[in-house]
Structure 1
């Protein structure tokens, strides 16, 4: 909710305010010295997201995928090739955190199923089943990821009258599909049916599939072709199979979410992301935000269609996709998946570094698809410990925002070539890119104007492994297709650590704006106001505390509603354990929306990483724009 609608709802005790506890009239304050404010217990916020432990940890996983073999061959990977790549993964890449091997498409040739219709291996030509390979990987300190959509029902199981739904021996597998309702009908060989979620036994089948993979110790499930299930349309091909409708799509995702729980990470692939990805946000952990990696190379990373379309893929390349969906990323929201990395397909080392820098700064999974036979001398790009530390610490960055206008409406509203993200310890990563094919360009992030830092910072070049000294900006002159990645460590001011809201995670309708003067950095978060929706607007910060105890927290805010506003504040760990709150915090009225004050309170944190969330709950009053929070001793 932006300023016009907020004011119309809240001015002088309007309808939205009357639905909550009455706001206390207070004289407007001028720009501020710190004001210590009261707090009181509050109910928990309502969430729009699945908010799993996976998204709460920040960045996506590191793993290897078979795509680099299967796509060029247009065939499933043979089992001996799979084993050879796993052994290479264990020796060369697992020491750098790539601890999972995942299958991919070309799955139609897996027709052997359990008595409940669940496939037992990747391909019928394989000698060994999922359980064998899960154990093989575990013995080497790694995990098995699986590509499969539990909405698929193999034709072989449908045609076998002995196959019944798990827990429902009265329902045959043939009873949970509609005749002729094939995935990719007359395109994909008519070997997989779509599950009919309106039929008895459908929920048990789908959730039983998820439970089956969990019993096999599979921690990661890639669920593909979701757009084809929802409306049967592909933007390039046209109608590919029968549509199943939005309601059935949302039902299927809700079942997946419920069955996955906190034990299985759900990667949603090829979703249309209608309604600003509301269904995927509520039920998934990762979403694909671009077209397939395909042949790889620069054109797939930065080229192709640059504009938005209201169907998968909304944007063609990951630069545009990450930029366009960056308002949905961050702790407790969605992990944006830029698809696979194929270093061996790029023309230069500059392009390889740019590929890696983009995936890391955006918080994407680091999914290697080169095979041991393709990688050659290019594995170095995946093994830079300074760079990988950012992913390990959960980095999820954002492009520099220029306005609140959606990127789909105005491509100038966000800068796809300048990115920054903050780490829990208060340090930053800054990535600068030159997407030009022909022109050398200089790119800069100014620490005060763009990040809102109050002083200078130490700068380290993560590819040169070189400290550049104390500076007030990060800058690089970049050849075409080149990039730079820096770690920025602010000099401590009064022992306090500042966390700007413009680079935090936003949910429930809260988001970036810069339409009022006086803010620090590039902007602030607005929309922390009453909403008619089923979820509360909020912003979440990942912060690190050196010890357990109570800390001073300072909130820089604006509130021109004419009365004291409140927000609900809590501190939790990534595993959902509550550290402090939820509690109401008061934000006294200020003179105008261009007037900024600082409210000060206390908050208890655990030693290590904590998630501090501020939201406008149903029992809160008024509205607040939030510029930053700052933690002191």
Structure 2
């Protein structure tokens, strides 16, 4: 594996190492604590002298990269949860679900879907009828007509090895609590619940009536109330809080309805999100629903785990999955359907960033099994939650689409894919910049998943993704049809002839000993983004903007890497540095919970003389056994900039 530099090529292959008398004994003597580069310095004084000009005799440590995302265990684990939601009952009836219906569906979930991983039942809207509150104004159950409270149902689910998810916005205050002078803010007996709302500041005055107030976050006690609400649900062992109508709180506007309530402003919106994020910690997954996602989702990225990226599931079916408005608007929902929503926000998805939520699926509302497969395939490749909203009474024979074991295995392995990018222009500006019908994602073991779709209504079409051109896979790869559970053998592309509304889902395993992870299909943050405006890269493109002066937070790329055992692994970075001088980047490996395995270390990338010239830089990195998140970024303590094509690891 030659290390290309502006002045020539240094052979760092095993053969080259042996030619400089670097023995296996010398490498093992360090107990795996020194890199190949350090060993080369010990064996070759000329190499050591050259390295000392840029990074010294040993790789220096670096300051940790600054991140602006919530960066919780939930987001770092990959896709959203598998669960069931009451929407399929409440939407058609436009009413809160009765408690006996809730129980019947939980029992059905426990028997038919929990064994496949759907281990949470979640409430949804139609919550105005829950007026019974604790001494601190927190609702005690989903609806006043229910006999049992949250604690009862949390325990009922726990007995069946499942959990309770709750739909509620901690910024809501029921008027019953406001009108009761005995209700006080948690931790502040001197402040009544009535003191934290403004007169007439109702949620959706003209839609839901004067039932729920909005919290006035500028008032004393507001923080304690909002954070206390989150803590209240945490104490009930609720791991998932679905917080709705955020756009209405921020500016009081709905793109379809117009003015719905008073605007509370960007500053108050960000403050409220920050309070909820702080209270949730890692014990609760924060789902943000109906956000405008202004400023490239900056506030939601910093304070949430999951965001809705399309309009409501509504009555379900193909029209909600793929139809409706296809263009972007600068208000919720930015895109109408999940195909466009996932595509448009794919630069924000991935580990440590945001889980994109495509809303609920009602399998029985689709016209064919092909459409049902397409719906689940789209949610799977995009890393979305898969949220069943069918009922035991209406799902019929269609439950199989949610329990196909090989599809669910991709979800469990952390699959979060992206559409094929044609250029670096945002999808909101150039709808031709990304392909909604061709998707891919790389799993931590280095294998790939490819999803192909036909969103058309009339014609059968051929769809394909080239392994060499689009994924940067050298040679052929083993291909398996995931839905059909059939092996196709060695191929050089994923290809399918698709009828209208049909899809294909393939697992692709490259045939090479070195595992290569491509930056163009990894997770990007801090302004790092796709591009293909310089030749010489492998695959569909590379990541640029690994530089200073971008978005808040450091520009970085994160790769999910599965290591067979703990140890120090040789790595190779393919990069371009068109600057005249060397650039430095910060590299680290971490566990999914954010604890550091190795680094942060400063790595020097010599100039390649132009942005059209690519070089390979060797190094090493310590990994734990199992999942590692390998991050490379341009922090405040670094200099220069690079474009990044891929990283290789010798994992075999």
- 1:298-353 CA-to-partner distances (Å, cap 9, x unmatched) read 00000000000000000000000000000000000000000001111000000000
- 1:438-486 CA-to-partner distances (Å, cap 9, x unmatched) read 1110000101100011221110001111011011100000000000001
**Cα distance in 1 for residues equivalent to 2:254 and 2:372:** 30
**Cα distance in 1 for residues equivalent to 2:577 and 2:583:** 7
Q: Is the 8 A contact 1:34 1:599 kept in 2?
A: no
Q: Of 565, 590, 595, which residue of structure 2 is paired with 1:572? A: 590
- 1:249-274 CA-to-partner distances (Å, cap 9, x unmatched) read 00000001100000000000000000
**Cα distance in 2 for residues equivalent to 1:27 and 1:632:** 22
Q: Is the 8 A contact 2:316 2:366 kept in 1?
A: yes
Secondary structure, aligned partner of 1:411 = coil
Shift of residue 56 of structure 1?
0.2
After superposition, the Cα gap between the structure-2 partners of 1:289 and 1:541, relative to the gap in structure 1 and judged at 3 Å, is same
Q: Is the 8 A contact 1:33 1:597 kept in 2?
A: no
Q: Which residue of 2 aligns with 1:552?
A: 570
1:19-30 superposed matches below 5 A: 28-29=6-7
Q: Which residue of 1 aligns with 2:522?
A: 504
Q: Which residue of 1 aligns with 2:490?
A: 470
**Cα distance in 2 for residues equivalent to 1:624 and 1:598:** 12
- 1:98-141 CA-to-partner distances (Å, cap 9, x unmatched) read 00000000000000000000000000000000000000000000
1:321-470 superposed matches below 5 A: 321-470=341-490
Q: Is the 8 A contact 1:32 1:596 kept in 2?
A: no
Q: Are 1:78 and 2:84 matched, yes or no? A: no
Q: Which residue of 2 aligns with 1:479?
A: 499
- 1:565-593 CA-to-partner distances (Å, cap 9, x unmatched) read 11000000001111000010110111210
Q: Are 1:178 and 2:156 matched, yes or no? A: no
**Cα distance in 2 for residues equivalent to 1:255 and 1:328:** 22
Shift of residue 28 of structure 1?
3.4
Q: Of 121, 127, 132, which residue of structure 2 is paired with 1:101? A: 121
Larger RCO (CA under 8 A, 6+ residues apart): 1
Shift of residue 388 of structure 1?
0.3
Secondary structure, aligned partner of 2:597 = strand
Q: Which residue of 1 aligns with 2:143?
A: 123
Q: Which residue of 2 aligns with 1:285?
A: 305
Q: Is the 8 A contact 2:526 2:550 kept in 1?
A: no
Q: Which residue of 2 aligns with 1:595?
A: 613
After superposition, the Cα gap between the structure-2 partners of 1:220 and 1:561, relative to the gap in structure 1 and judged at 3 Å, is same
1:301-340 superposed matches below 5 A: 301-340=321-360
Shift of residue 369 of structure 1?
0.3
Secondary structure, aligned partner of 1:378 = helix
Q: Is the 8 A contact 1:421 1:430 kept in 2?
A: yes
- 1:489-515 CA-to-partner distances (Å, cap 9, x unmatched) read 1112xx210000000000000010000
Shift of residue 27 of structure 1?
8.1
**Cα distance in 2 for residues equivalent to 1:339 and 1:44:** 35
Q: Of 636, 640, 643, which residue of structure 2 is paired with 1:622? A: 640
After superposition, the Cα gap between the structure-2 partners of 1:32 and 1:528, relative to the gap in structure 1 and judged at 3 Å, is farther
Q: Which residue of 2 aligns with 1:539?
A: 557
Q: Of 200, 211, 223, which residue of structure 2 is paired with 1:191? A: 211
TM-score (norm 2): 0.92
**Cα distance in 1 for residues equivalent to 2:232 and 2:328:** 38
**Cα distance in 2 for residues equivalent to 1:358 and 1:186:** 36
Q: Which residue of 2 aligns with 1:562?
A: 580
**Cα distance in 2 for residues equivalent to 1:277 and 1:311:** 11
Q: Which residue of 2 aligns with 1:231?
A: 251
Q: Is the 8 A contact 1:27 1:562 kept in 2?
A: no
Q: Which residue of 2 aligns with 1:631?
A: 649
Q: Which residue of 1 aligns with 2:539?
A: 521
| Gapped regions of structure 2 (runs ≥ 5) | 14-36, 38-50
Q: Where do 4+ consecutive residues of structure 1 move more than 3 Å? A: 26-38
Q: Is the 8 A contact 1:31 1:590 kept in 2?
A: no
**Cα distance in 1 for residues equivalent to 2:181 and 2:234:** 26
Q: Is the 8 A contact 2:527 2:551 kept in 1?
A: no
**Cα distance in 2 for residues equivalent to 1:243 and 1:383:** 43
Secondary structure, aligned partner of 2:613 = coil
**Cα distance in 2 for residues equivalent to 1:387 and 1:30:** 47
Secondary structure, aligned partner of 1:68 = helix
The answer to which of 545-554 and 532-541 deviates more is 532-541
Q: Is the 8 A contact 1:66 1:103 kept in 2?
A: yes
Q: Is the 8 A contact 2:310 2:336 kept in 1?
A: yes
Q: Is the 8 A contact 2:185 2:191 kept in 1?
A: yes
**Cα distance in 2 for residues equivalent to 1:64 and 1:532:** 40
RMSD (Å), alpha carbons: 1.2
Q: Is the 8 A contact 1:523 1:627 kept in 2?
A: yes
TM-score (norm 1): 0.95
Secondary structure, aligned partner of 1:187 = helix
**Cα distance in 2 for residues equivalent to 1:33 and 1:484:** 42
After superposition, the Cα gap between the structure-2 partners of 1:296 and 1:243, relative to the gap in structure 1 and judged at 3 Å, is same
Secondary structure, aligned partner of 2:261 = coil
1:150-189 superposed matches below 5 A: 150-189=170-209
Shift of residue 533 of structure 1?
5.0
| Gapped regions of structure 1 (runs ≥ 5) | 1-25
**Cα distance in 1 for residues equivalent to 2:364 and 2:269:** 37
Q: Is the 8 A contact 1:34 1:598 kept in 2?
A: no
Q: Is the 8 A contact 1:32 1:597 kept in 2?
A: no
Secondary structure, aligned partner of 1:41 = coil
